[in-house]
Amino acid sequence: MSRIFDLQDILFASEKQHKAKLIAEGNLAHYTGADTALSILQDQELWLTNVAGMNDLSECRYAHGLLRDLLSEDHDLGRRLARVMPLLATGLRMALDDDVGPLSLERIRRDSHIVCFGEESHAEQERGRLSMWRGYGRKTLVRLTFASAALDAGGPSPGQPIVRVLYGETQACDELERIVEGFEAHHIDERSVSTVEIGHAVIRFIVIAILAIKHPSFEEEREWRLIHHPLLDPDREVVTTKALPIRERVELVKVLRLSADERFLHAGLKDILHSVTIGPSSETELTKDAFEAVLAHPAIGLPGRVSVADIPYRGG
């Protein structure tokens, strides 16, 4: 094995398994305010916001500290990785010790943008999750459910990986154990791998791992993240930047177009939008009528996809 995707096949092997399972058993749900949901549908775009503005005050910092511990020479996982892939192990440790470079904690926080989805089974389709309806605390909430086919390599995010979030030390340890076992089983001769390829693997792993490991307190969210970071070589024709009002402030967001494009979304939003659910509120029917009109418009052409959450909770 001497090509970068071979290294990444091992580093991200479990992602393929989790994606296949979700595609078979569930969908991705994006909970947001009615106004934002309306913009997503009418403009056919997703907004990726800066991770520094997330509700999790330990965002990235928790993952960074945990990775430093697990990949250090003082931990069995770190020692085992160093035995089979010494250059890779050294590169990962150097990146985690960097305080000022592009892979430093603060630079990753500053340069990374994400949009979050919750993993939901088909059985949760009618009601959604009460914790999510409660958690956003807005007058009118809407759930946009995306078909899990959006996880495919040819999905809506060329260059922007969609990854499953790991929660806490146990899940992170289990994932690193699988990675180390993968390298131990494949007996890769690092001399056949260029330093450039090692460097690319380090960059991709560090950025994704720091953004995809969270404190265990958030485990109930069952989150997946679509990630944009300049070092992950995104398709710059697909992602643009603009200033938008976000949670009573204005910030620069990354905008991912979902319009029809023969390269990855042949029919645009039709390829991935499964349904729209209006959350508990005093104005559900009015909101439902409005969203039904939006989806039925020829620009989208998805009539009959709007419902009201079957949950007796007084929202708003």
> Which tokens belong to 301?
């052409």
Sign of CA dihedral 12, 168, 163, 238: negative
Give 248's pLDDT tier (boundaries 50, 70, 90). Answer: confident
Lowest mean pLDDT among 48-52, 122-126, 217-221: 122-126
| CA separation for the pair 258, 13 (Å, rounded) | 27
Burial of 69 (0-12, 13-18, 19+ CB in 10 A): middle
* Cα separation, 310 vs 124, whole angstroms: 10
> Residue 5: pLDDT above 90?
no
Distance CA 53, CA 32 (A): 16
Distance CA 43, CA 265 (A): 15
pLDDT band at 119 (very low <50, low <70, confident <90, very high): very high
- pLDDT score recorded for residue 240: 85
pLDDT tens for residues 87-108? Answer: 999 999 999 999 999 999 999 9
User: Per mean pLDDT, which of 35-49, 68-82, 182-196, 291-305 is the most reliable?
Assistant: 68-82
With cut-offs at 50, 70 and 90, classify the pLDDT of residue 54: confident
**Mean pLDDT value across residues 175-201:** 90
**Is the pLDDT reported for residue 233 higher than 70?**
no
The answer on pLDDT for 128 being more than 50 is yes
At 310, is the pLDDT very low, low, confident or very high (cuts 50, 70, 90)? confident
- DSSP class per residue in the chain: --SHHHHHHHHTHHHHHHHHHHHHHEEEEEEEEHHHHHHHHHHTEEEEEEGGGSS-TTTTHHHHHHHHHHTSTTSHHHHHHHHH-HHHHHHHHHHHH-SSSTTSHHHHHHH-EEEEEEEEEGGGTTT--HHHHHHH--SSEEEEEEEGGGGSTTSS-TTS-EEEPEEHHHHHHHHHHHHHHHHHHHT--GGGS-HHHHHHHHHHHHHHHHHSEE-GGGGGG-EEEEEE-GGG---TTTEEEEEEEETTEEEEEEEEE-S-BTTTBTTGGGGTEEEEEEPSSTTHHHHHHHHHHHHHSTTT--TT-EEE--------
Distance from C-alpha of 39 to C-alpha of 247, rounded to nearest angstrom? 15
Q: Which amino acid, 21?
A: K
Per-residue pLDDT of 272-294, as tens digits, reads 899 999 988 878 889 999 999 99
What does the pLDDT look like over 14-53, one tens digit per residue? 888 888 888 888 899 999 989 989 999 999 888 899 998 7
Unique residue bearing structure tokens 């929202």: 315
Residue 154 pLDDT > 70, yes or no?
Answer: no
pLDDT exceeds cutoff 50 at 12: yes
Q: pLDDT: is 19 or 296 the higher one?
A: 296
Start-to-end CA span in the chain (Å): 55
Average pLDDT, the chain: 86
